[in-house]
């Protein structure tokens, strides 16, 4: 019995030591470089803002935050990499609306986004803009919708691929406006942009920072921006799609961070606090807003609720429009 009591006491002390040691491991986080998996190719808007926040985190937390681009399979390859990584805060994921779409669009993903990863904090939100080639006989959104209703199935819209922000903005327009336009997916944004300029596709949703110079040069015509009732500061003369005749339309390009599930809450909270501080810096806020990107500040629970709502929103659009799953 004495031996049993001795072993029990040793076990209790070992457990107590583990409990008391855990905060120490998170208090000194990060103590080595942190990797951010970016499931897109280098150079796009999501990649640019992630690199910028990574540099600011390096300054504030005094460890490198290194970008690792892992594009492919509509972001599922990079996302799965992080879902299967150690939950220690040293492998993070750049997340966007695309991953919330993929929860319904991809039939056989090896992970579940909101089960296998934990939201940390949002980063930015930027409007999309609906543009048409100048040959399209529509000077405003009402005329485009009338044209689409008069000639169902004859107007094409391009995107950077199935499940992308640009694809789903087109599907949301179809859903809310009750029109039949045809999706033309490209392998990336470049092909879609080239073909809207040449008139191979008639309609395109794209980010405001990318399209603004082409709009001002008269290469395409802007008919509406995508953020509810708030006009883009970059394109203040362009009405939102909601105010131009499609109530409830809201489809922005947002970016944030996640980590593997079971990452210690103190690490998640610390990253949320640091990112929030960075986004509050006047120079960061001003510089990003000039490019058409608005910093987003949310608590970690608020960001989780936002992402849950995004998953549900796009699931409804996919089902309503009978978009076939990707196997």
Contact 132, 223 (CB under 8 A): yes
What is the C-alpha to C-alpha distance for residues 173 and 166, in angstroms, rounded to an integer? 11
Are 260 and 173 in a shared domain? no
Q: Look at residue 23 and tell me if it is in a domain.
A: no
Question: Which pLDDT tens digit goes with each residue over 32-55?
Answer: 999 999 998 777 767 788 888 999
Question: Which pLDDT tens digit goes with each residue over 247-282?
Answer: 999 999 999 999 999 999 999 999 999 999 999 999
Helix, strand or coil for residue 172? helix
Look at residue 25 in the predicted model and tell me its pLDDT. 59
∠ CA 93-81-324 to the nearest 5 degrees? 90
Look at residue 248 in the predicted model and tell me its pLDDT. 93
Q: Look at residue 233 and tell me if it is in a domain.
A: no
Q: What are 261-265's contacts with CB under 8 Å, separation 24+?
A: 261/83, 261/87, 261/115, 261/116, 261/117, 261/118, 262/87, 262/118, 263/87, 263/88, 263/89, 263/118, 264/22, 264/25, 264/26, 264/87, 264/88, 264/89
Question: Which pLDDT tens digit goes with each residue over 108-139?
Answer: 999 999 999 999 999 999 899 999 999 999 99
* Mean residue pLDDT across the chain: 89
Q: How does residue 287 score in pLDDT terms, banded at 50, 70 and 90? A: confident
How many independent structural domains does the chain possess? 2
Q: How does residue 291 score in pLDDT terms, banded at 50, 70 and 90? A: confident
CATH number for the domain that contains residue 146: 3.40.190.10
Per-residue pLDDT at 220 exceeds 80:
yes
What is the C-alpha to C-alpha distance for residues 24 and 35, in angstroms, rounded to an integer? 21
∠ CA 82-83-88 to the nearest 5 degrees? 70
Q: Look at residue 112 and tell me if it is in a domain.
A: yes
Task: Give the mean model confidence (pLDDT) for residues 183-203.
Answer: 92
Are 136 and 190 in a shared domain? yes
CATH number for the domain that contains residue 306: 3.40.190.150
Question: Which pLDDT tens digit goes with each residue over 310-326?
Answer: 999 999 999 999 999 98
Are 258 and 122 in a shared domain? yes
Structural domain of 60: 32-126+254-320
Q: What is the pTM of this model?
A: 0.85
What is the C-alpha to C-alpha distance for residues 107 and 88, in angstroms, rounded to an integer? 29
Instruction: Name the burial class of residue 124, with classes exposed (0-12), middle (13-18) and buried (19+) by CB atoms within 10 angstroms of its CB.
Output: buried
């Amino acid at each position: 019995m004495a031996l049993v009591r001795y072993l029990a006491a040793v076990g209790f002390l070992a457990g107590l030591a583990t409990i008391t040691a855990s905060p120490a491991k998170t208090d000194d986080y990060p103590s080595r470089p942190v990797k951010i998996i970016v499931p897109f190719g280098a150079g796009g808007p999501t990649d640019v803002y992630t690199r910028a926040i990574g540099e600011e985190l390096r300054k504030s937390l005094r460890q490198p935050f290194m970008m690792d681009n892992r594009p492919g399979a509509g972001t599922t390859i990079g996302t799965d990499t992080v879902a299967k990584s150690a939950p220690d805060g040293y492998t993070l994921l750049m997340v966007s609306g695309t991953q919330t779409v993929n929860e319904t669009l991809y039939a056989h993903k090896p992970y579940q986004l909101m089960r296998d990863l934990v939201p940390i904090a949002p980063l930015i939100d930027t409007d999309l803009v609906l543009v048409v080639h100048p040959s399209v006989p529509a000077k405003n959104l009402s005329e485009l919708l009338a044209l689409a209703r008069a000639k169902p199935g004859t107007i094409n819209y391009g995107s950077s691929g199935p499940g992308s922000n640009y694809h789903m903005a087109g599907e949301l327009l179809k859903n809310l406006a009750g029109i039949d336009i045809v999706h033309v997916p490209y392998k990336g944004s470049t092909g879609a942009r080239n073909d809207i300029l040449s008139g191979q596709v008639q309609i395109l949703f794209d980010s405001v920072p990318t399209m603004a110079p082409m709009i001002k040069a008269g290469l395409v015509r802007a008919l509406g921006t995508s953020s509810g009732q708030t006009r883009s500061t970059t394109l203040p003369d362009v009405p939102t799609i909601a105010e131009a005749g499609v109530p409830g339309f809201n489809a922005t390009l947002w970016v944030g961070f996640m980590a593997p599930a079971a990452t210690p809450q103190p690490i998640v909270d610390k990253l949320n606090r640091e990112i929030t501080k960075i986004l509050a810096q006047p120079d960061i806020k001003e510089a990003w807003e000039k490019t058409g990107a608005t910093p987003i500040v949310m608590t970690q629970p608020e960001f989780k609720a936002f992402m849950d709502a995004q998953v549900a929103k796009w699931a409804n659009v996919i089902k309503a429009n009978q978009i076939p799953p990707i196997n």
